[in-house]
């Protein structure tokens, strides 16, 4: 898992603790020591344990944290995820921030796994999108990977993706071809993806050189199948739009290489995990 940006954890702690945890300072006995456990309260896919560990250690470096289940593990109700031992006040101070991260990230991982399982055996690969929580992209994309899906581009800097709004100015194919050639020359090794809204547009994009992927946006199953039938061997096809757990299997069975699902990150519900003292 990529190391979470320190400022994200610092920001989360600062917004929760502010000038200090006045309740824990006032309502715990001086020197009190405790042991607590984070447990799953519903079946899920785990993500965020290392973030939770860092949170407790930033609050109190003397806290002893043990991770009992690795990120990516399938959890059942009651499973022990993480235990923490040390200052009672420190554990209480870190409880909510640690849970906020691990619940959110486990929600993303769980939804990613649900989509992966839904297309199992078809050959289609589930991808995430850039529809992530601002500031949490690396963590959410790590959670997607924990769920078994693959990351699309991390940002605007690591892949060319020419979308409908880029094409809205009316670029003709000759001009688009020149731009693709210039882009590849300036950034060799980066993939080039074009978004298509119609089957006619897909066919025209097949004639271009230097295209790696064509995004088939909100197309019917019939048009997806026809795109697959006509697709040159050197180009891959990605379906997007109208994808949910009820539709994803039929989309995968058209033969597309990838299916991108924004809901994995923008609509994943948090998982119910709890911190209990023991």
Q: Dump pLDDT digits (tens) for 37-48.
A: 999 999 999 999
Known catalytic residue: 195?
yes
Three-class SS state of 187: coil
Known catalytic residue: 96?
yes
| Number of alpha helices (DSSP H) and beta strands (DSSP E) in the chain | 11, 12
Nearest to 253 by CA among 113, 148, 121: 121
Nearest to 223 by CA among 200, 190, 204, 245: 200
Q: Write down all domains in the chain, each with its CATH number in brackets.
A: 6-116+269-277 (3.90.1170.20), 150-260 (3.20.20.70)
Known catalytic residue: 25?
no
Catalytic residue (one of 37, 130, 131, 191): 131
Task: Reply yes or no on whether the pLDDT at 160 is more than 60.
Answer: yes
Known catalytic residue: 184?
no
How many whole angstroms separate alpha carbon 251 and alpha carbon 91? Answer: 46
Each residue's pLDDT tens digit, 207-255: 999 999 999 999 999 999 999 999 999 999 999 998 999 999 999 999 9
How many whole angstroms separate alpha carbon 66 and alpha carbon 74? Answer: 18
Question: Six-digit token pair at 34?
Answer: 């405790």
Catalytic residue (one of 158, 163, 164, 203): 163
Known catalytic residue: 37?
no
Catalytic residue (one of 37, 69, 96, 154): 96
């Amino acid at each position: 898992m990529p190391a979470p940006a320190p400022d994200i954890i610092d920001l989360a702690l600062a917004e929760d603790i502010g000038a200090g945890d006045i309740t824990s300072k006032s309502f715990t006995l001086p020197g009190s020591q405790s042991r607590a456990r984070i447990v799953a309260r519903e079946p899920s896919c785990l993500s965020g344990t290392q973030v939770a560990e860092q949170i407790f250690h930033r609050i109190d470096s003397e806290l002893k944290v043990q991770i009992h289940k690795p990120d990516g593990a399938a959890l059942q109700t009651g499973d022990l995820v993480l235990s923490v031992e040390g200052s009672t006040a420190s554990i209480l101070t870190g409880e909510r921030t640690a849970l906020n991260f691990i619940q959110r990230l486990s929600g993303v991982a769980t939804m990613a796994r649900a989509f992966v399982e839904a297309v199992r055996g078809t050959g289609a690969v589930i991808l995430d999108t850039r529809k992530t929580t601002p500031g949490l992209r690396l963590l959410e994309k790590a959670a997607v990977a924990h769920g078994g899906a693959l990351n699309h581009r991390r940002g605007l800097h690591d892949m060319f993706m020419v979308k409908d709004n880029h094409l809205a100015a009316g670029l003709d194919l000759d001009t688009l071809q020149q731009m693709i050639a210039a882009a590849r020359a300036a950034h060799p090794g980066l993939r080039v993806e074009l978004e298509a809204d119609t089957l006619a547009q897909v066919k025209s994009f097949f004639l271009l050189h230097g295209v790696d992927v064509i995004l088939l946006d909100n197309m019917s199953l019939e048009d997806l199948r026809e795109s697959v039938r006509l697709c040159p061997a050197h180009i891959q096809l990605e379906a997007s739009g109208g994808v949910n757990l009820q539709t994803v299997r039929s989309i995968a069975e058209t033969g597309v290489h990838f299916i991108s699902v924004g809901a994995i990150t923008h609509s994943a519900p948090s998982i119910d995990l709890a911190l209990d003292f023991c």
